[in-house]
Amino acid sequence: MHSWAGPMRQTKRYGLMVQVGLAISISAILPNEPSAAASDDVLQTSAAQSALSPLPPPVVLPPSKVMLGERLFHDPVLSGREKLSCSVCHDLKAGGTIRLPRTIGYDGQIHAFNAPTIFNVGSNYRLGWRGKFTSLIVQNEAVLNDRGLMAANWPRLLSRLGDDPEYLASFRKVYGAPPTRETVLDALVTFQMSLATPNAPFDRFLLGDKAALNPTEKEGYRLFIDYGCVSCHQGANIGGNMFQIFGVFAQPGAAEVAVNSHLDERLQASDGDGSVFRVPSLRNVEVTAPYFHDGSAETLQEAIAVMGRSQLGRELPQSDIDSLQAFLTSLTGEYNGKRLSAIADETDR
């Protein structure tokens, strides 16, 4: 069977390296004057040098597996008491997450962490806020079996799926046999690999369309580089490819860590990890509030201000926060040809 560890394995050599305060100096090529001075050409070239790249086009996946995985992802049949589906906490109509600071598990207890978006998950080299997983298959199985998350077990789940004539027929058609642990996980993971959100205005800008960003967004992009946000949030996912201390310069407010009855310690907050977290991807961050591992920032403005203080040791002026927010909004991509912000708006109405 195909292994999905690919994109994640590639960067493994970085391991758990924590690079504190590494700033890519871009000031050498960017003029320090107001934005208008930084021409589009300079901004487009500096992107290459600052390790930001457009999201690659989605990989071509077998549609029948994607469809089967999509159905499983939305079906409470996967959880122990058939009450919870993956999509409850990773709602595709709400940015691939849930608008709660921290999620509530099967046992009614509050989890230690905010649910990350499921969009572009295939481009993250480590999974989870602590990065304890390198493979979607292993992570998905842990979520399924965890008593505080899906509380499923394989014999029960496989017999439920096997007893459902539609599922049985689909598995026979797609995999040539009744559902097994391997094929259930393969379908789920194939669906998640399909959740790429290409074609954000920022991607179009990087690919040469100078009009794709408005002047405020361009100014925000320049600030993103100049302030050194890009030293941590980088790569095709604008984040998600390294670990960092949250609170390099100032403690972002002590988050109390919830201890609950999970069985799987890889999905837990453990003291040994201190305040080191995976730097999150900023793609679609416009629609994934609340922010941070504990959901402690309600708005993007707040999250940006905290980043200034805790990661850069600076109090950012309001006008810069506004421009940075405009830039981050230009990272919202499309799913099935529709901008994620438009999908989220429809749901709010």
> Which residue, 140 or 216, is less far from ligand HEC as judged by CB?
140
331-to-10, 55, 206, 208, 321 alpha-carbon distances in Å? 24, 10, 11, 16, 16
Nearer to ligand HEC, 115 or 213 (CB): 115
Which one, 90 or 218, has the nearer CB to ligand HEC?
90
Question: What's the closest the beta carbon of residue 12 comes to ligand HEC, in angstroms?
Answer: 16
Q: Which two tokens stand for residue 143?
A: 């979520």
User: Cα separation of 164 and 72, whole Å?
Assistant: 12
Q: Give min distance, CB of 15 to ligand HEC, in A.
A: 16
Q: Is the peptide bond before 290 cis (omega within 30 degrees of 0)?
A: yes
Nearer to ligand HEC, 205 or 277 (CB): 277
Q: Nearer Cβ to ligand HEC, position 2 or 209?
A: 2
| Minimum CB distance to ligand HEC, residue 235 (Å) | 13
Half-sphere exposure of 327 (CA within 13 A, CB side): 22
Q: How far apart are CA 26 and CA 49, in angstroms?
A: 8
Residue 250 or 337 with smaller CB distance to ligand HEC = 250
Catalog residues that contact ligand HEC under the rule CB under 6 A: 78, 84, 86, 88-90, 103, 105, 111, 113, 115-116, 118, 121, 124, 127-130, 136, 139-140, 143-144, 149-150, 188, 227-229, 231-233, 244, 246, 248, 267, 277, 279-280, 282, 285, 288, 291-293, 300, 303-304, 307-308, 311-312, 324
* Contacts within 8 Å (CB) and 24+ apart, 316-321: 316/227, 320/223, 320/227
How far apart CA 209 and CA 190 sit, in angstroms, is: 32
Taking alpha carbons only, the member of 240, 235, 248 closest to residue 21 is 248
CB of 105 to ligand HEC, least distance (A): 5
Q: For residue 289, which amino acid is it?
A: A
Q: How far is the CB of 166 from ligand HEC (least distance, A)?
A: 19
Positive or negative CA dihedral for 97, 192, 8, 226? negative
Task: Choose between 128 and 206: whose C-beta lies nearer to ligand HEC.
Answer: 128
Given the complex with ligand HEC, which of 131 and 206 has the nearer CB atom?
131
CA–CA distance, 81 with 34 (Å, rounded to integer): 58
Q: How far is the CB of 232 from ligand HEC (least distance, A)?
A: 3
Rounded least distance, CB 3 to ligand HEC, Å: 16
For residue 76, give both structure tokens: 């409470």
Distance between CA atoms of residues 206 and 204, nearest Å: 5
CB of 325 to ligand HEC, least distance (A): 8
Judge contact between 34 and 175, C-beta under 8 A. Answer: no
Q: How far is the CB of 342 from ligand HEC (least distance, A)?
A: 20
Q: How far is CA 19 from the centre of its chain?
A: 20
Nearer to ligand HEC, 55 or 150 (CB): 150
